[in-house]
Structure 1
Amino acid sequence: MESDDDGDVQEEEEGEEEEDGQGTGENELQFPFGAEIDPLAFVEKGTDCSQPYQQFERFEYEALAAQKRRRAALLEKCQTGEPKDQQQQLFGATIDDIRAAASIKDSDLADLEELWEASGFGTISHRGRKRKRKSKRAFRKNPEITRKLGEANLFYAMSDYEKALQLLEEIVRLAPNMPDPYHTLGLVHYSMGNRKKAINFYMLAAHLKPTDVSLWKRIAAWSLEEGLSSGQAIYCLKRAMKSDPEDILVKWELASLYSEIKEFTKAAETYEAILTTHPVDVEACKMAAKMHQQSGRIDEATKVLKKMLHEHPTEADLTVVNLLAELYMDNKAFSSVISCIEEARNIYCAGQGLPLDLAVKSGIAHAHLGNKSIAKDYCEALHKEQPEEVAELIMQVADAYREMEEYQCAMQYYAMLDGVTFCQNKSLWIKLSACHLALRDHAAAVGLYKKIIQESPSDIDARIKLASLLLEMDKLDEALLYLSPPQDKSQDNVGDEQLWCSNGKVILLLAKVHYTMANHDLFLEVTIPFFHEVLETEIFNQQHVRGPRRLPKSVLLARAKWLEDADGLRDAFIRYSPALPSNIRSKAARARRALQRRESEKEERRAAALARGLEWNSDEDEVERPLVEFVPKVHGLPGMFEDEEHFDIFMQTCKVLATRKCYGEALELINKALRVGHPTLFSRRPQLRDLGTEITIKAKDAKRGFDCVRHMVQQQPYSLNAWNWYYQVVCSSEGRIPKHHKFLLTMRNKYPDCIPPIMIYGHQFSLISQPQGALREYLQAHKLQPEDPFINLCVGVSLINLSLGARLTNRNQCVMQGFAFLHKYHELSENSQESNYNLARAYHHVGFVTIAVHYYEKVLAHPEKDYPRTNTLEDPFVTFGDSLQSSEADGIVKGMCDLRREAAFNLHLIYKKSGAIDLARQVLQDFCNV
């Protein structure tokens, strides 16, 4: 009997709870109003928030997370808290016994009941729940709260809003989770004109009474009227749809909102939800297909329409067939277009002709399949209609023929639109110009592009296309007119000028025109600022956006401090930069994503705390260090390295600068280009380095061009011409090059059998008057190549210079060894004029003037002929052109390497010193006259 009474009480209480909105599953997530958060302060704070619904989403997320954690803890306690034999004795126990055995709180009672029944232990007694519900019912039916709520409603009816607000706020403090006072507060504030605050109170009431669909709809409508975020209206409509899945109007409103914010996938899913309850809704079917089409899911769109046609053919109509045919055409399934239309003819058009739009689509499909005669029959009906009425269909047919490269047919249909005013626009002119170009009618295409520019002066593509056509027609002046900035610099033209005159494609095409017209001054005026901006932008992006390859130690320490494995590192030792273990260092280097996730979670906790009105105290450092430094990416101009033509203009710019002897500016551009890490640049870097090498040789400025000649030597380490260029640049440089000695030492160690770096080392010692060091290097080269005349010359000269030192004991032996190497050089040179002169100069230097006279006379007796110097510019690396080499060739003078005048001058000195003045004068008169 007692159990029956309990059952009656239980049924009565459950009925009351369902009536108050407390018996649904929605109310399982209790909002933390009351002790934790003051709802009135929450509303006041929410009026300043552009999206207050996000706070409720955060509450739900936190409540669900807490519920999951609580259930997991209960399950673990039930599994591990008691021995197995004691658990088996609990199968027939009541919920009070279980709660007492496991020390479970009342707040966890519902979770325990759900876990208990889900585990298959059967139903449990509900005495604890009855007590809980009795206390709730007693609290809800508090006569004091009921009386005050009635008085507040009376004051609202009498328009005494101030007293109504005072009573309602007092009720909220007494019963913060009761929905009625929030609803009345919303009404009061709405009557007072505080629409946003009224919406927030309605939001509280709706969350405490989630089954009230009309309330959710009202909040959504007011949110849109007040211009709030569409996200809040979507949130309310989703809650309304969840409370009443049969409400079709809510789904339509939700789908339209998704479509407005371009969430096409979600809009399509919502329309499909309408079809789930109302499968014969043709409009919902078409809208779902359109949303799938907008999101690029053509297969899903066709599947929805085909399902409607096959399952409900009587409810569908020709608009569904038309939309399905369009989808097939977008997917290039022309056979499916024809079969779909023919099937629709049998169902909807029995004994009648096809509508014009379907007939045209069928004709286009036949044209794509090669059935031109059938296509012409289907499209013939367009000629019988007024062009204004069927302009869209005519455009579709013309576009189809243009795509099939049937330009004559396309022109015929485009010509039908000449009298249609609303079709005379830029789109039609571009299509017509494409047809004229395909038919080699450049003049007509130029006229159309001029019309486009006249209508839209800032159209960059039209200007570029028109200028390119004029260049092909050799109308350079007219092309220059359409590419040059406007002369009028008034305020009306500033916007257009910034829109198209500063575009990279326009600038490069303008430079091409200037270069073709040989206007090199204007060419450089256009290209130099542009290329500097492009290169600086690329360098900035790759330095700041990519970031350093290796993380600094401070960042690794900061990350390791946040990792669980690094908890043992004391803060006191962080300042001394301790050596991190290898495993922690590796994890810290890969911890960027994990730390970003922690940062986002920390931000959510901070926002949740502020929403509750609490102060946010972080346990971490007060100084927040950003995990990844954000550097805004500069908007780059069109990549000049991706287009071969643009790269050629860059090369032409550097060559023109070189011909004008602006070597420094040309090398600056080349060095910037070499610093850019663009993927398409790697294959073009040899061209840049070769050009930089030649300019460096001409400029004699190794500070800017050293990298070019260094790379050339690295590419051909055994090339004598490459090393000649390298040493010529180094020696001709006015300043000291710090990288030279380090690079030379690297190359010498890397290629020990390479003679040029050894010889250059010897020359460096000779320049600083250290013959002993120079002799050591030259002898090492002599071991590798003993029959080289130049090496023998260098060894002989170094030995003679060494013999002139004051500290040398075996001076005579050193002199004899030196002349032995010089005579070997003389022999290997086949008694050339140069070897005779060098041998004579050596004897003259040590004081053997008699022997020196003999060799000087041999030089004078040598037959006269040209001795042009070696052209060091002849090498496969050089790609500069003839402009620089022509000046080099012009500099070659007849007899420029003839040594007779030098020998005669030295010989006259010997004669003069010995007292033979007349003989000395005679030598000068014979060989040194100008």
Structure 2
Amino acid sequence: MRDADIDADGDAPDDHTRVPALRFRTSTQDADTDEDEESASDSELANEFDGLELLRAGSLADKVVAYERSTSGNAAVVSRDARTMLEELEEAKRNPTVAAFLRMGETGDAGKRRRRHRRRATGKSKPMNEANELISDATILYARGAYADAVIKLHAAIVKAPNASEPYEQLALVYEEMEDLEKALDCYSIATVLKRGVDPSMWYRMATLAVNVNKKEYALHCLARAARSDPRNYENKMDQATLYSELGDTKKAIEQLEWVLRDDLPPLDGAILRDATVFLAKLYYGAESREKAEYALERLLERHPQHVDATVVNILIELKIEFRKYSEVLDIVKKAHATIVEHMDNGELPLDISVKLGQCQLYEGQIEDGLRRVDELLAHQVTEFDDLFFDCGNTLMDVGLALKAEEVFRPLLSLEAYDNVELWQRIERCIEQSQGLFAVIEFYDSMHDKHPSDVFIAVSLADALSRCDDDLESLSRARSLVSNLDDVEVQKYGISLRVTALQRKLLSDEELTVIIPSALKLLDDLMDQRSQRKLQRVGQANDTYVDDNVRISDNDVFATIISGAEIAIRLGRHDDAAKIVTNALSFSAGSVLTREQTATLRYLKSLVSYQAGDLQEASANCRSVLEVFPASVTVWNMLMQMAVDYPRALSVGTSKLAKRLVANSVDNTVRARLVPLMASGYVHTWNKKWSIAMHDFLTALTLAPNDHEVTLAAAISLLHMATRNSNEQQRHALALRAIVLLERTADLNSAHPQEGLYNLARGLHHLGWSHLARRLYERCLEAPVTEVEGDGAAVDLKREAAYNLSLIYRKSNAHGLARDILRKYMTV
């Protein structure tokens, strides 16, 4: 609380560093107060109101909240069962004193003002004089620290003057010093119904006490009552918003903050304006109104830039990055730069904002600027900025800078919270992309030394070693690692299928053969048990039948079935493979299998159908798999390979599927969006729908601007559109953009210069600019031949370049040059 920390006299307490003095009145004050309070009494109060009985009952705050809920229905979300609270209220209201207390509290100050003009007593009553003497004695006892005796005196004063508020206020102070905050709150509650014209500071004090004893709904009641007399207290509204938020009533919390930020109110203090805006943005975000969260922060930046600090900018940047609005982040930092650095000792942006700015620069293709900010992060300790290291590494992976991403990820391995499977896999992908298989083996070797008993690391190392087909020592080591795995740990990691695949790969054909009949036998048993369960439901099962609760969806069971089917496919036993897959798919009805398990079986069925020559069935199963795994490159490649012999594999159905998958992947990660986009582009290229293909490839280019394959695909789609566009101006624009992307592809694929030269020459040749293509073809013939990573096969494009160059010569009637080129490069 803010103003709630002010006591009834308007002074701020020092958190028990001093004893707050009890308020002692002069005789004049006594007379005025006594006359006011006596004028407010009537026969009902005299007969029904007993403050000491209320104090003995206790929990007055709960009763007030329940009473408000029963009469208005507008109370905040309750922290316990509402029915129970209302039942307790009905029972309490049978007590006349409690009922009077609730009715008096409901009338509030307005009811007290209506009694103000009644005729006042001309003299001070004897009970009131006695009560004042008791209060004076209590004050002395309180000052001496004799709190228990002071309570006795004040109870006696309440008996003498039951309808006076002063004894209850003093008693509340004593209970506060005794740290009995609930009783103190009850005393204040009684005082507010007896006292005319309650000062807002008392309500704020009560709100603070209510929060301290975890009665947040009553704290809201107190703040609302304070707001009647103090309507322009913006911090009151913010405190109400905080309490509503903690109680789960986000809507009312937002209403309070929207009131604070209204345009028709006087200018706010900068700190309040900033805090209210940030709080409102967080509530909007939590309520999934993310556009409103953006708008609230942008409004502060536009209208009150002098009050914007690094926190506001940081939150707004995070929202923009989440929505992939990277260019807008650059504009935001530019606008707020001067205001932010003004409050920094070194005159520079805070590191978190600087790094996030660098991430956006990387996404926008400003590689040098982005990498400079990444290097700034690497100069700091990872323990202080671990989240920035992780986010920055992901960004570098997204834009294709795998080597730099590995450099950023590596320091996180020293932190226990990050030294896990997720980070290991990210580093593995980075290393494989930038350095190759042997570097991956070296990485997992070091991790195996660090975590010798970790199953995932052992499996990953065995997987990498198993790809060294010609290295017998590596294969032997991989077999040793796989044979010593702990099955329980394998199940915990959920890598049963991966382990099974490794076992199939590393075992000989003779060793694998025994798995097929065991998989068939397992399926027969499962099908028999399924039949028995159906009979059991109708009371017709065998007497000896006992359900062993083994299901095909269990990881171990499913892994065994998949293993049998894959081995049958590998050994060419297509009938056995088809039988295993068909029987297993019979369990897909009734949600026995998960969607992922069903898709895995359908992938195997597509392989069986493909090898059996049933391309229609194979393509249909591939499409079903892609519905579940849209980012599966293997399945997309299989579908496109089928199209060579079966063009309908990429027909209208696949085009519609590709469109749907692209639309469904909008909110996914970059990797999950990139594969469907590229696949959709290829499918629509196959079907000669050039404009759709171009749109998909260019969208993919925005996600992976530094991937040379994506850049090449986008360039080719632009070339097709340039040669088919009838508008000369648009045709030239498309052609120019295509050439720029081809040059960009050559720069990104600098490890294979011949390929980059050939693609650029072929693009110019396709556009009819033969005079430009000729020089590039000649350079391509002189370029060194490179090898493809992994299999080491040479990629030599000299024959293609020579043939295309001969076509240019022939078109120019230089037949002699054409023959020389063909004789030199095309002779077998």
TM over 0.5: no
How does the TM-score come out when normalised to structure 2? Answer: 0.42
Higher relative contact order (CA closer than 8 Å, sequence separation 6+): 2
Q: What TM-score results when the alignment is normalised by the length of structure 1?
A: 0.38
